Every structure is written in C-alpha cells, then in structure tokens.
Amino acid sequence: MSSELRKPIISGNWKMNHNHYEAIQCVQKLAYILTKEDYAEVDVTIHPPFTDLRSVQTMIDADELKFILGAQHCHEADSGAFTGEVSAAFLAKLNVSYVIVGHSERREIFGETNEAVNAKIVAIQKHKMTPIVCVGETLAEREAGKTHEKVLGQVRSALEKRSVEQIKSLVVAYEPIWAIGTGKTATADDAQRMISSIREEVAKISSANAAESIRLQYGGSVKASNIGEIMSQPDIDGVLVGGASLDAAEFGRICQYRLRPLNP
C-alpha cells in the first residue's frame, strides 16, 4: 500500500533515562543537528520522563523548536485517588501532543491489560492528543507461531469502539518484544509483513480509508545503521526508538534517514 499520504513519524522513547538537566542538553544537541528541511519531511516526537516534561516544553515553546512533545504513559482517569499516576488531562496542559500507550514494558512488567490500553486511548483522544499504541509478541509466542494471533488481537482491542476518524489519527507501533533492547531486530521484510497485516486488520475493523490514513511504526533495536532499510518498506511509516534516541547524534541520523544509504 502506498505511503505517499502518510508523513513519516520518528519517535524517541527515553524511558526512565535523562533527568531534566540531561534532557535539556539532549534537546539542545538535537536542535542543532536537525534542520527545517528535516522537519518538513518527518514528524519528530520526543518522549522524556514525567519529571522532564515541563523543562522540555518550556524549551520547545521559548526557542520555537519543531520537535513534538510526547509522554510515555498516562492514567485513564482525569483525576482521583491514584497515587503516583499522571492523567491525560494534566499532559494536555503541558502541550503534550503524543502519548505512548501499551508499551511492552507496561504490559509485561506492570500488567497493563488490553482493556486498560483501550481506556487510556479513549482518555488520550478525549484530550485531543494522539496515542502511539504499542503491540507486539514475545519470543515464546513467536516460536509457537502465535505472532499474528497476539498482535492482531491487541490491535482489535485497542481500536474497539473507536470511530473511523479516531482510528485514522492514530499511530500504531509494532514492537516485537524479543527485539527490544536486545540488539536483535526483525528483518525489514518480516517487519513489513507484520505491519502490512496490521493495516489489513485495520481495514477489516474500520474502513479502507482508516487503514490508508493510520500511521504504523516499527520499534525494536532501531539504529542509524538499519533505519534506511526499515523505512524503505511501503507500509512502515516511522519508527519508535528506544536506546538510540538517548544519543542526540545517533537519533539525529535516524531522523535524517532519507539522506542515508540503505546500508551505511
């Protein structure tokens, strides 16, 4: 399926790394590397820890930077007795535009269910932000031949009761759990096949129009050395970058993938 109508989106997930001083330094370095031509071609979202959000938001606003601010997680309720949680309503007040939801670490370590992911998607869209919905399989599920069953089941649950317009605005990130932080990466062909299946599933769930508009990312040990091959695939509209996004120079090269050969 042609991706001509879908602007690529490169997202940096800093996870529990970078205090707010380090976050400021990273943003300053990245701002020096990227040009207006880069931002014209690619949406760049950065997702620092909660304690960094205000510092990064202030920098973006004061210096008129072209990064798009994102968060890593939120609670589905607007407020309440949920000690330690942060609501989508709070994030919206910080000019957050994208929120990662259902990341494998949230699902695997903190027990986040498909139903909880759907509730968070509803809350994020209620406050006019865009969810980056993560889906993916474990190594055991992959070896048992259950990849499609697991991943497409997560997709169906995430999109339940969402309108065509709401689905069209989403980002879905396929992140095979066995490839996150391991140095292993699904081959570009494997990633393309799975992401193409996700797009086909979206068409079945919603409409061909929604499937054409939704942006689909790949996540899992993405680096400057493999970004060209990943982004050459027709259904891959971007990447969700973990460890490599902590290094401004490396993340900058990833964002500038279009300027790089397939195998640098």
How far is CA 71 from each of CA 15, 178, 240, rounded to the nearest angstrom?
10, 23, 13
Q: Which of 75, 103, 112, 137 is catalytic?
A: 103
Residue 10's φ and ψ, nearest 5 degrees, are -110, 120
Residue 127 bears catalytic tag? no
Q: Alpha helix locations (H) across the chain?
A: 20-33, 36-41, 53-63, 88-93, 104-110, 114-126, 139-143, 147-159, 164-168, 188-205, 208-213, 227-231, 248-255
Q: Are 233 and 188 in contact (CB under 8 A)?
A: yes
Residue 103 bears catalytic tag? yes
Q: Which of 76, 112, 141, 175 is catalytic?
A: 175
Q: Are 240 and 180 in contact (CB under 8 A)?
A: no
* Residues belonging to the active site: 103, 175
